[in-house]
Structure 1
Amino acid sequence: MKKLLLLFLAASFYFVNNAQAQKRFTDTENSAGLSVDFGDGSTLVGPALKHFFDKNNAGQLELLFGGGGTYLAAYYQYNAPIQNAGGLNYYLGIGPALGFGNGNTDFYIRPMAGLDYKIATTPLDLSFDWRPAFYVGDNSDFSAARFGLGIRFSF
């Protein structure tokens, strides 16, 4: 499992570092909306904020609730348009997440790979990603079947 994680991270960083700089798919710098994290285990729902630092680099914050816990996550994402796909971006990211519940605080590392679509005629932004969860701590664990869905208002 560790080899798979290292391979995924190495491939992600290689791809990000060798991608050509392209115009971002939207002229907006911020978006806010709803994020849903689902898959194995509980479904988590809550607010999400995304901010572009430049045309390719963004940060995303999520505060999710579900399964008797509260989860706070902060992600770095590299975004780039898919050529000839009008408004469709891909993104690769990684970040930490904290889970609070049952008197415990849990720490996770969450890589992600996904698609982001900005609807041209509206300020809506839709995203879907794969975001496995690596629990770091006593009895470390890994969950590959986790996905994210985002619906955000761009401004």
Structure 2
Amino acid sequence: MKKLFSAVMLGAALLLGTQFTNAQTYRTGAGLLIDVGDGSTLVGPHLKHFFSGSNAGEFSILFGGNMTTVQALYQYHQPFSGASGLMWYVGAGPAVSFGDGNSAFSIVPVAGLDYKISGAPLDISFDWRPRIWFGSGNSDFLAGRFGIGLRFTF
């Protein structure tokens, strides 16, 4: 009976494992994003979901500096060989900010590291996320922006 149970569990793990590739160690993570650096510090909930293999989307609603920012980023991930749970990623996406009677559009390129803690449903990320602003009659480039993400994975 023990061998049958082990065989069934192994088969289930193999079947479920076909949905994932080596580039990801979790499917979805939800938690808190802290966006700091040039300008205001922004904090809010965010969700990262791997659509397939190396391709993930990150959605955030951030608050700070008398504004609300909504952003959606595409991220391409790859693992570091020999470092279980550690991935690098690059990507970009649009963001819209509202506050003080104004709104602005920005493009957010991103490059960073993502670490899934082995044996725990936790993930930590750190990235460089400069921001290119458009709107309100002027534009701006903030190179010194960084993000720290803390997520519960499932």
TM-score by length of 1: 0.83
The 8 Å contact of residues 68 and 102 in structure 1, kept in 2 or not, is answered as yes
Q: What is aligned with 2:139? A: 140
Q: What is aligned with 1:35? A: 33
The 8 Å contact of residues 24 and 54 in structure 2, kept in 1 or not, is answered as no
Cα displacement string for residues 98-133 of structure 1 (whole angstroms, at most 9, x for unaligned residues): 000011110000000000000001010000000000
Q: 2:103 aligns with which of 99, 102, 105?
A: 105
The 8 Å contact of residues 48 and 63 in structure 1, kept in 2 or not, is answered as yes
The aligned length equals 133
What residue ranges of structure 1 are gaps of 5+ in the alignment? 1-21
After TM superposition, where is structure 1 displaced by more than 2 Å over at least 4 residues in a row?
Answer: none
The 8 Å contact of residues 25 and 118 in structure 1, kept in 2 or not, is answered as no
CA distance in 1, matches of 2:105, 2:149: 22
CA distance in 2, matches of 1:55, 1:24: 6
Letter in 2 for 1:118: K
2:53 pairs with 1:55: yes
TM-score by length of 2: 0.84
2:150 pairs with 1:151: yes
CA distance in 2, matches of 1:148, 1:55: 23
1:1-155 superposed matches below 5 A? 23-26=22-25, 28-137=26-135, 138-155=137-154
Structure 1 residue 24, shift from structure 2 partner:
2.2
**Percent identity between the aligned chains?**
57
Give the SS at the match of 2:39. Answer: coil
Structure 1 residue 41, shift from structure 2 partner:
1.3
What residue ranges of structure 2 are gaps of 5+ in the alignment? 1-20
CA distance in 1, matches of 2:121, 2:23: 15
